[in-house]
Amino acid sequence: MTQTLSVAITGASGRMGQTLIGLVNASDKMTLTGAIERTGHAWVGQDVGEMMGGGALGVTVTDDAAAALADADAVIDFTAPQATIAFAALAAQAGIVHVIGTTGMSEDEIAALAPHGEKATIIRAGNMSLGVNLLTQLTKRVAAALDTDYDIEIIEAHHNQKVDAPSGTALMLGEAAAEGRGVKLADVSDRGRDGITGARKSGDIGFTAIRGGDIIGEHDVMFAAAGERIILRHVASDRSVFARGALKAALWGHGRAAGQYDMLDVLGLSD
Ligand SMILES: NC(=O)C1=CN([C@@H]2O[C@H](COP(=O)(O)OP(=O)(O)OC[C@H]3O[C@@H](n4cnc5c(N)ncnc54)[C@H](O)[C@@H]3O)[C@@H](O)[C@H]2O)C=CC1
Ligand SMILES: O=C(O)C1=N[C@H](C(=O)O)C[C@H](O)C1
Protein backbone atom coordinates (compact mmCIF):
# COMPACT_ATOMS: atom_id res chain seq x y z
CA MET A 1 0.00 0.00 0.00
CA THR A 2 1.33 3.50 -0.85
CA GLN A 3 2.14 5.70 2.12
CA THR A 4 -0.03 8.83 2.35
CA LEU A 5 0.96 12.18 3.87
CA SER A 6 -0.37 12.59 7.43
CA VAL A 7 -1.91 16.05 7.69
CA ALA A 8 -3.14 18.12 10.63
CA ILE A 9 -5.41 21.11 10.02
CA THR A 10 -5.50 24.07 12.40
CA GLY A 11 -8.56 26.29 12.75
CA ALA A 12 -10.64 23.22 11.91
CA SER A 13 -14.03 24.93 12.28
CA GLY A 14 -13.06 27.97 10.19
CA ARG A 15 -14.02 28.78 6.61
CA MET A 16 -10.66 27.56 5.31
CA GLY A 17 -10.30 24.81 7.94
CA GLN A 18 -13.50 23.10 6.81
CA THR A 19 -12.64 23.51 3.11
CA LEU A 20 -9.21 21.96 3.74
CA ILE A 21 -10.59 19.05 5.75
CA GLY A 22 -13.06 18.24 2.96
CA LEU A 23 -10.27 18.15 0.36
CA VAL A 24 -7.76 16.24 2.51
CA ASN A 25 -10.45 13.66 3.23
CA ALA A 26 -11.16 13.29 -0.49
CA SER A 27 -7.46 12.97 -1.42
CA ASP A 28 -5.82 9.62 -2.04
CA LYS A 29 -2.39 11.17 -1.32
CA MET A 30 -3.19 12.39 2.20
CA THR A 31 -4.75 11.22 5.44
CA LEU A 32 -6.29 13.58 7.98
CA THR A 33 -4.62 12.80 11.30
CA GLY A 34 -5.33 15.95 13.29
CA ALA A 35 -7.93 18.71 13.58
CA ILE A 36 -6.98 21.55 15.91
CA GLU A 37 -9.09 24.31 17.44
CA ARG A 38 -8.46 26.89 20.12
CA THR A 39 -9.01 25.97 23.76
CA GLY A 40 -12.64 26.49 24.78
CA HIS A 41 -14.00 26.07 21.25
CA ALA A 42 -17.24 24.05 21.14
CA TRP A 43 -15.80 21.56 18.61
CA VAL A 44 -12.94 20.41 20.89
CA GLY A 45 -13.53 16.78 21.93
CA GLN A 46 -16.01 16.13 19.07
CA ASP A 47 -15.54 14.20 15.81
CA VAL A 48 -14.60 16.76 13.15
CA GLY A 49 -16.71 15.14 10.39
CA GLU A 50 -19.82 15.22 12.56
CA MET A 51 -19.17 18.85 13.54
CA MET A 52 -18.97 19.70 9.84
CA GLY A 53 -22.44 18.19 9.41
CA GLY A 54 -21.40 14.91 7.77
CA GLY A 55 -20.43 11.41 8.84
CA ALA A 56 -17.77 10.68 11.47
CA LEU A 57 -14.17 10.90 10.17
CA GLY A 58 -12.61 9.25 13.22
CA VAL A 59 -10.61 12.41 14.03
CA THR A 60 -11.42 14.16 17.29
CA VAL A 61 -10.90 17.93 17.36
CA THR A 62 -8.17 18.76 19.85
CA ASP A 63 -6.65 21.84 21.46
CA ASP A 64 -3.42 19.89 22.10
CA ALA A 65 -1.56 21.08 19.02
CA ALA A 66 1.80 19.64 20.16
CA ALA A 67 0.36 16.11 20.25
CA ALA A 68 -1.45 16.55 16.93
CA LEU A 69 1.69 17.82 15.18
CA ALA A 70 3.86 15.06 16.65
CA ASP A 71 1.75 12.56 14.65
CA ALA A 72 1.77 14.56 11.39
CA ASP A 73 4.03 14.98 8.35
CA ALA A 74 2.51 18.39 7.63
CA VAL A 75 0.31 21.00 9.29
CA ILE A 76 -1.85 23.31 7.19
CA ASP A 77 -2.57 26.51 9.04
CA PHE A 78 -5.08 29.22 8.17
CA THR A 79 -5.78 30.86 11.53
CA ALA A 80 -4.49 34.12 13.06
CA PRO A 81 -0.98 35.65 13.39
CA GLN A 82 -0.18 34.80 17.03
CA ALA A 83 -1.59 31.29 16.67
CA THR A 84 0.53 30.77 13.55
CA ILE A 85 3.72 31.75 15.40
CA ALA A 86 2.91 29.23 18.12
CA PHE A 87 2.22 26.52 15.50
CA ALA A 88 5.53 27.35 13.77
CA ALA A 89 7.40 26.60 17.02
CA LEU A 90 5.61 23.25 17.32
CA ALA A 91 6.19 22.40 13.63
CA ALA A 92 9.90 23.12 14.13
CA GLN A 93 9.96 20.90 17.22
CA ALA A 94 8.38 18.09 15.19
CA GLY A 95 10.55 18.86 12.10
CA ILE A 96 7.56 18.82 9.74
CA VAL A 97 6.08 20.89 6.88
CA HIS A 98 4.18 24.02 7.97
CA VAL A 99 1.95 25.49 5.27
CA ILE A 100 0.92 28.99 6.35
CA GLY A 101 -2.04 30.76 4.75
CA THR A 102 -2.67 33.15 7.65
CA THR A 103 -2.62 36.83 6.62
CA GLY A 104 -2.48 40.08 8.57
CA MET A 105 0.95 39.30 10.05
CA SER A 106 3.06 42.34 11.01
CA GLU A 107 6.74 42.66 10.00
CA ASP A 108 7.71 41.56 13.53
CA GLU A 109 5.39 38.55 13.41
CA ILE A 110 6.85 37.48 10.06
CA ALA A 111 10.36 37.89 11.48
CA ALA A 112 9.39 35.67 14.42
CA LEU A 113 8.92 32.76 11.99
CA ALA A 114 12.56 32.86 10.86
CA PRO A 115 14.14 30.72 13.63
CA HIS A 116 11.45 28.07 13.15
CA GLY A 117 12.28 27.92 9.43
CA GLU A 118 15.61 26.41 10.40
CA LYS A 119 13.89 23.20 11.54
CA ALA A 120 10.53 23.21 9.77
CA THR A 121 9.81 23.43 6.04
CA ILE A 122 7.67 26.58 5.99
CA ILE A 123 5.65 27.48 2.89
CA ARG A 124 3.86 30.80 3.36
CA ALA A 125 1.77 32.86 0.96
CA GLY A 126 -0.99 35.43 1.31
CA ASN A 127 -2.77 33.59 -1.48
CA MET A 128 -2.26 29.94 -2.37
CA SER A 129 -4.19 29.91 -5.66
CA LEU A 130 -2.42 29.30 -8.96
CA GLY A 131 -4.28 32.25 -10.51
CA VAL A 132 -3.11 34.86 -8.01
CA ASN A 133 0.47 33.65 -8.02
CA LEU A 134 0.50 33.90 -11.80
CA LEU A 135 -1.05 37.36 -11.48
CA THR A 136 1.85 38.51 -9.28
CA GLN A 137 4.26 37.65 -12.09
CA LEU A 138 2.10 39.46 -14.68
CA THR A 139 1.85 42.49 -12.38
CA LYS A 140 5.62 42.63 -12.04
CA ARG A 141 6.08 42.50 -15.83
CA VAL A 142 3.48 45.17 -16.56
CA ALA A 143 4.86 47.45 -13.82
CA ALA A 144 8.36 47.03 -15.25
CA ALA A 145 7.13 47.93 -18.74
CA LEU A 146 5.29 51.12 -17.73
CA ASP A 147 6.63 54.33 -16.23
CA THR A 148 5.11 56.41 -13.42
CA ASP A 149 2.67 58.07 -15.87
CA TYR A 150 0.68 54.92 -15.01
CA ASP A 151 -0.69 55.19 -11.47
CA ILE A 152 -0.88 51.77 -9.81
CA GLU A 153 -3.95 51.11 -7.66
CA ILE A 154 -4.79 47.80 -6.00
CA ILE A 155 -8.45 47.22 -5.19
CA GLU A 156 -9.53 44.19 -3.18
CA ALA A 157 -12.95 42.93 -2.05
CA HIS A 158 -13.73 40.33 0.63
CA HIS A 159 -16.55 39.04 2.85
CA ASN A 160 -17.73 40.99 5.86
CA GLN A 161 -15.99 38.69 8.39
CA LYS A 162 -12.45 39.37 7.19
CA VAL A 163 -10.42 40.99 9.96
CA ASP A 164 -7.29 42.27 8.17
CA ALA A 165 -6.77 44.92 5.48
CA PRO A 166 -5.28 45.28 2.97
CA SER A 167 -5.59 41.57 2.19
CA GLY A 168 -2.48 39.41 2.07
CA THR A 169 -3.05 39.07 -1.67
CA ALA A 170 -3.22 42.85 -2.18
CA LEU A 171 0.12 43.14 -0.38
CA MET A 172 1.64 40.38 -2.56
CA LEU A 173 0.44 42.25 -5.66
CA GLY A 174 1.77 45.54 -4.27
CA GLU A 175 5.18 43.93 -3.63
CA ALA A 176 5.20 42.55 -7.17
CA ALA A 177 4.33 45.95 -8.66
CA ALA A 178 7.01 47.67 -6.56
CA GLU A 179 9.57 45.05 -7.56
CA GLY A 180 8.70 45.60 -11.24
CA ARG A 181 9.27 49.32 -10.75
CA GLY A 182 12.49 48.80 -8.85
CA VAL A 183 11.24 50.48 -5.67
CA LYS A 184 10.43 49.37 -2.11
CA LEU A 185 6.72 49.01 -1.39
CA ALA A 186 7.20 50.56 2.07
CA ASP A 187 8.45 53.77 0.41
CA VAL A 188 5.53 54.19 -2.03
CA SER A 189 2.57 52.51 -0.34
CA ASP A 190 -0.55 54.72 0.03
CA ARG A 191 -3.13 53.14 2.34
CA GLY A 192 -6.33 54.37 3.96
CA ARG A 193 -7.04 57.67 2.15
CA ASP A 194 -9.57 59.80 4.01
CA GLY A 195 -10.31 63.52 4.18
CA ILE A 196 -8.24 66.18 2.39
CA THR A 197 -5.47 63.91 1.24
CA GLY A 198 -3.94 66.18 -1.38
CA ALA A 199 -3.37 65.11 -4.95
CA ARG A 200 -2.04 61.67 -5.65
CA LYS A 201 1.75 61.42 -5.44
CA SER A 202 3.34 60.17 -8.65
CA GLY A 203 4.92 56.75 -8.16
CA ASP A 204 2.73 55.76 -5.22
CA ILE A 205 0.99 52.39 -5.12
CA GLY A 206 -2.51 52.83 -3.68
CA PHE A 207 -4.66 50.30 -1.83
CA THR A 208 -8.44 50.16 -1.43
CA ALA A 209 -10.31 47.50 0.59
CA ILE A 210 -14.00 46.66 0.13
CA ARG A 211 -15.76 44.46 2.73
CA GLY A 212 -19.24 43.04 2.16
CA GLY A 213 -21.50 39.98 2.19
CA ASP A 214 -19.95 36.67 1.22
CA ILE A 215 -17.37 37.85 -1.35
CA ILE A 216 -14.69 35.16 -1.36
CA GLY A 217 -11.82 37.27 -2.73
CA GLU A 218 -11.45 39.65 -5.67
CA HIS A 219 -8.35 41.63 -6.66
CA ASP A 220 -7.75 44.25 -9.36
CA VAL A 221 -4.39 45.78 -10.21
CA MET A 222 -5.12 48.99 -12.10
CA PHE A 223 -2.57 50.92 -14.13
CA ALA A 224 -4.29 54.27 -14.77
CA ALA A 225 -2.82 56.86 -17.15
CA ALA A 226 -4.18 59.82 -19.11
CA GLY A 227 -6.45 58.32 -21.76
CA GLU A 228 -6.26 54.62 -20.80
CA ARG A 229 -6.37 52.06 -18.02
CA ILE A 230 -5.07 48.51 -17.85
CA ILE A 231 -6.72 46.28 -15.25
CA LEU A 232 -5.41 42.86 -14.24
CA ARG A 233 -8.09 40.97 -12.30
CA HIS A 234 -8.44 37.78 -10.27
CA VAL A 235 -11.78 36.58 -8.94
CA ALA A 236 -12.02 33.60 -6.59
CA SER A 237 -15.50 32.08 -6.65
CA ASP A 238 -14.69 29.06 -4.47
CA ARG A 239 -12.35 28.73 -1.44
CA SER A 240 -11.14 25.40 -2.77
CA VAL A 241 -8.69 27.28 -5.06
CA PHE A 242 -6.78 28.35 -1.93
CA ALA A 243 -7.12 24.94 -0.29
CA ARG A 244 -5.95 23.04 -3.37
CA GLY A 245 -2.83 25.22 -3.45
CA ALA A 246 -2.20 24.50 0.25
CA LEU A 247 -2.47 20.74 -0.30
CA LYS A 248 -0.07 20.98 -3.24
CA ALA A 249 2.35 22.92 -1.01
CA ALA A 250 2.19 20.27 1.74
CA LEU A 251 3.01 17.48 -0.75
CA TRP A 252 5.78 19.58 -2.36
CA GLY A 253 7.34 20.39 1.01
CA HIS A 254 7.46 16.82 2.30
CA GLY A 255 11.07 15.59 2.21
CA ARG A 256 12.38 19.05 1.27
CA ALA A 257 15.07 20.82 3.34
CA ALA A 258 13.95 23.05 6.20
CA GLY A 259 13.64 26.70 5.20
CA GLN A 260 11.15 29.35 4.16
CA TYR A 261 9.45 28.99 0.78
CA ASP A 262 6.46 30.51 -1.01
CA MET A 263 3.91 29.41 -3.60
CA LEU A 264 6.08 30.64 -6.48
CA ASP A 265 8.59 27.96 -5.41
CA VAL A 266 5.86 25.32 -5.21
CA LEU A 267 4.35 26.24 -8.58
CA GLY A 268 7.71 26.70 -10.32
CA LEU A 269 6.87 30.33 -11.15
CA SER A 270 9.94 31.97 -9.56
CA ASP A 271 12.10 34.05 -11.95
N1 LIG B 1 -3.34 32.36 1.88
C2 LIG B 1 -4.53 32.09 1.36
O3 LIG B 1 -4.66 31.56 0.22
C4 LIG B 1 -5.75 32.40 2.16
C5 LIG B 1 -5.60 32.95 3.41
N6 LIG B 1 -6.68 33.12 4.21
C7 LIG B 1 -6.39 33.59 5.56
O8 LIG B 1 -6.57 32.50 6.45
C9 LIG B 1 -6.97 32.99 7.73
C10 LIG B 1 -8.24 32.29 8.19
O11 LIG B 1 -9.29 32.62 7.31
P12 LIG B 1 -10.77 32.02 7.54
O13 LIG B 1 -10.74 30.53 7.50
O14 LIG B 1 -11.65 32.75 6.61
O15 LIG B 1 -11.05 32.50 9.03
P16 LIG B 1 -12.03 31.89 10.13
O17 LIG B 1 -12.20 32.93 11.15
O18 LIG B 1 -13.23 31.29 9.47
O19 LIG B 1 -11.15 30.68 10.74
C20 LIG B 1 -10.06 30.83 11.58
C21 LIG B 1 -10.10 29.67 12.56
O22 LIG B 1 -8.89 29.66 13.30
C23 LIG B 1 -9.23 29.29 14.62
N24 LIG B 1 -8.17 29.69 15.54
C25 LIG B 1 -7.81 30.94 15.95
N26 LIG B 1 -6.83 30.87 16.86
C27 LIG B 1 -6.54 29.55 17.02
C28 LIG B 1 -5.63 28.84 17.84
N29 LIG B 1 -4.78 29.46 18.68
N30 LIG B 1 -5.62 27.48 17.76
C31 LIG B 1 -6.43 26.84 16.90
N32 LIG B 1 -7.35 27.46 16.12
C33 LIG B 1 -7.38 28.79 16.18
C34 LIG B 1 -10.55 29.99 14.90
O35 LIG B 1 -11.23 29.43 15.99
C36 LIG B 1 -11.25 29.77 13.55
O37 LIG B 1 -11.97 28.54 13.54
C38 LIG B 1 -7.08 34.51 7.57
O39 LIG B 1 -5.88 35.11 7.96
C40 LIG B 1 -7.29 34.68 6.07
O41 LIG B 1 -6.93 35.93 5.58
C42 LIG B 1 -7.94 32.80 3.82
C43 LIG B 1 -8.16 32.28 2.58
C44 LIG B 1 -7.07 32.04 1.64
O1 LIG C 1 -9.65 36.18 4.39
C2 LIG C 1 -9.94 35.69 3.27
O3 LIG C 1 -11.04 35.23 3.02
C4 LIG C 1 -8.88 35.65 2.25
N5 LIG C 1 -7.68 36.00 2.61
C6 LIG C 1 -6.52 36.01 1.79
C7 LIG C 1 -6.00 37.43 1.69
O8 LIG C 1 -5.94 38.13 2.71
O9 LIG C 1 -5.62 37.84 0.60
C10 LIG C 1 -6.71 35.30 0.48
C11 LIG C 1 -8.07 35.37 -0.11
O12 LIG C 1 -8.22 36.57 -0.82
C13 LIG C 1 -9.18 35.16 0.89
Domain boundaries, the chain: 5-124+239-267, 130-236
Q: Is 168 annotated as a binding residue?
A: yes
Residues flanking ligand 1, CB < 6 Å? 10-11, 13-17, 36-38, 41, 78-80, 83, 101-104, 125-128, 168, 242
Q: Is 25 annotated as a binding residue?
A: no
By most ligand atoms within 8 Å of CB, the mutation choice from 124, 162, 219, 240 for ligand 2 is 162
For the domain made up of 5-124+239-267, give the CATH fold. Rossmann fold (3.40.50)
Express each pLDDT in 2-44 by its tens digit.
799 999 999 999 999 999 999 999 999 999 999 999 999 999 9
For the domain made up of 130-236, give the CATH fold. Dihydrodipicolinate Reductase; domain 2 (3.30.360)
Average pLDDT score over the chain: 97
Q: Is 95 annotated as a binding residue?
A: no
- Per the annotation, the verdict on 158 as an active-site residue is yes
Instruction: Please give the full DSSP string across the chain, using - where no structure is assigned.
Output: -PPPEEEEEESTTSHHHHHHHHHHHH-SSEEEEEEE--TT-TTTTSBHHHHTTSS--S-BEES-HHHHHHT-SEEEE-S-HHHHHHHHHHHHHHT-EEEE------HHHHHTTGGGGGTSEEEE-S---HHHHHHHHHHHHHHHHS-TTSEEEEEEEE-TT---SS-HHHHHHHHHHHHHHTS-HHHHEEE---SS--SPPTT-EEEEEEE-TT--EEEEEEEEETTEEEEEEEEE--THHHHHHHHHHHHHHTTSPSEEE-HHHHHT---
What are the pLDDT tens digits along the chain (271 aa)?
579 999 999 999 999 999 999 999 999 999 999 999 999 999 999 999 999 999 999 999 999 999 999 989 999 999 999 999 999 999 999 999 999 999 999 999 999 999 999 999 999 999 999 999 999 999 999 999 999 999 999 999 999 999 999 999 999 999 999 999 999 999 999 998 999 999 999 999 999 999 999 999 999 999 999 999 999 999 999 999 999 999 999 999 999 999 999 999 999 998 8
